[in-house]
Amino acid sequence: MSERKCIAAKAIYRDSNAADVPAIAALEASGYANAGVSEAVLAATAEAISIVAELDGEVVGHILLTPVAGPERALALDPLAILPAWRDMQIGTELVRHALRLARQKNWHSVFVFGQPDYYCRFGFKSRTADGAEIACQGPRFLALELKKGALAGWTGPLVYPDAYAELFTTLTQR
């Protein structure tokens, strides 16, 4: 096993709780455009899937899947944040795997993400799967994954993120 995978394997992956919010906010502030999104979303919805990666008692990574309006039982993946010192150690990969597994267990049908295709395609995300969504940041970096086979087949329409994402989408569409 490579050293990077060993570090990811040593991490504890668990549901976040209220005590983690300051650490999550610090993660997002460490260089992500979506600083503050998690705190706002977690305060607004109980259905969000929020998982942290912890090493030696320190929260080093976080992933958030948030319910979105559009297709039945759909989630948005954002943010996926890792502290700079812990990047490139497979922690993000493990967070995505844990979050998708939990989303399937909770009977969610699909997940959307705006991100790097090379990264997210390894989990099964595809740009063409997201083609039916009407959203401001449409393009090759907007991807979707069906957790339930056929969940997005033939679906078209607006995909509406919670209000907490408004500033992030403004930033993304201005790039």
What is the tens place of the pLDDT at every residue in 21-35? 899 988 888 876 666
Residue 170: pLDDT over 70:
no
pLDDT at 36: 66
Span of 4-8, 107-111, 123-127, 152-156 with lowest mean pLDDT: 4-8
Percent of the chain having pLDDT more than 90? 65
Predicted model pTM: 0.89
Residue 12: pLDDT over 90:
yes
* Total number of domains constituting the chain: 1
CATH number of residue 66's parent domain: 3.40.630.30
Q: Provide the mean pLDDT of the chain.
A: 87
Its sign, for the CA torsion 31, 50, 37, 173, is: positive
Contact indicator for 151, 112 with CB cutoff of 8 Å: no
Q: What is the mean pLDDT of residues 28-45?
A: 69
Span of 41-45, 111-115, 143-147, 159-163 with lowest mean pLDDT: 41-45
Supply φ then ψ for residue 47, to 5 degrees: -85, -10
Span of 4-8, 22-26, 150-154 with lowest mean pLDDT: 4-8
The terminus-to-terminus CA distance of the chain in angstroms comes to 39
Residue whose C-alpha is closest to residue 151's, from 170, 136, 172, 129: 129
Domain that holds residue 54: 3-173
